Amino acid sequence: MGETGWKSAVSSGINSGTEAAARFGGDPVTLEKAEKSFPVRINSYYLSLIGSSTDPLGRQVVPSGMEAGDTSGTGDPLAEDADSPVPHLVHRYPDRVLLLVTYQCAVYCRFCTRRRAVGRTPTPTAGDMDRAISYISNHGEIRDVIVSGGDPLMLSDSTLGSLLSRIRAIPHVEIIRVDSRIPCVLPSRITPELCTELRKHHPLYFNTHFNHPRELTPESIRACEMLADSGIPVGNQTVLLKGVNNDPETMKKLVQGLLAARVKPYYLYQCDPVSGAGHFLTTIQEGLDIISALRGYTSGMAVPAYVIDAPGGGGKVQVIPPDIIEITDERVVFRNYAGRVFTYIQPGPAGK
């Protein structure tokens, strides 16, 4: 499927609360209110995978009446706007920046942390990108640029390639990362032509976003394999979502399926407390229990890091099950994955 084909898949799906109500049921007025809080988009491919509005896939993208009245979170829970020295660029960590190149996506996930902007903010202009690239060029400490949005693969191959070329030309930029959910939600967008373009800009890494094993279809697996065959390491960033994947067996099946598709489970994110998405939130203990159920019971490569992106702009904090029982100068006592207790004897002072 060429560029015309994948764009047709986006436009031919569901693009309003009214259309969602007609397809899945529900009060049209209520879903229209949800649409006002965040736009609706479900492309025809992803739509074909959904059984109902409350199944694990439908829950992610079909608007819900719970959105409009939710005041549990904030509009910018990660305080990205406060760390934006120029428009469309977030500089939070010392050596890396997040570059937001578009605010369009192939689907609009109802738990999106950038609900304030995605689907609403116009695509950055050439002048906007000039200022962002200039900022990166003028800050020699930046060695890592994450190209995100929205979804950067909503741009044409040529537009994306031109942007990546400009970033790659900056001497102190060592790596480029592309963050995109498109391999999962619109795999026909991953074409040989796109892969040829991406591989021009190595070292380039690709992080995608699968949340449920049913998203691992033959089409999406093939899209990931095409990227891997192009020499592009692919990672996955899953969001922990109530009613979607907040149980150990679902998560185990997902991470094992990802690894078999040559995708490294990278992060398991605690869902951000963004207004409109309160019904997706889980407890931290649920996440810890899932990680405990994975460690030792599947390949270590399949176990993602469980992280909270600290509200208010604190950055990512890894949350680890409490396996250490005691630490002294003489010994460390710890519990393994099966609950058995072991002791490691600390080395004595040098020379003794």
Torsion-angle region of residue 242: left (phi > 0), alpha (psi -120 to 50) or beta?
A: beta
Q: Which residues are catalytic?
A: 92-93, 96, 105, 109, 112, 114, 272, 309, 316
Question: 3-state SS of the chain?
Answer: CCHHHHHHHHHCCECCHHHHHHHHCCCHHHHHHHHHHCCCCECHHHHCCCCCCCCCCHHHHCCCHHHHCCCCCECCCCCCHHHCCECCEECCCCCEEEEECCCCCCECCCCCCCCCCCCCCCCCCHHHHHHHHHHHHCCCCCCEEEEECCCHHHCCHHHHHHHHHHHHCCCCCCEEEEECCHHHHCHHHCCHHHHHHHHHHCCEEEEECCCCHHHCCHHHHHHHHHHHHCCCCEEEEEEECCCCCCCHHHHHHHHHHHHHCCCEEEEEEECCCECCCHHHCCCHHHHHHHHHHHECCECHHHCCEEEEEECCCCEEEECCCCCEEEECCCEEEEECCCCCEEEEECCCCCCC
CA distance 277 to 191: 33
Q: What angle do CA 18, 22, 27 make, to 5 degrees?
A: 65
Axis crossing angle, helix 126-137 with helix 157-168, rounded to the nearest 10: 20
β-strands 324-327, 204-208 pairing: unpaired
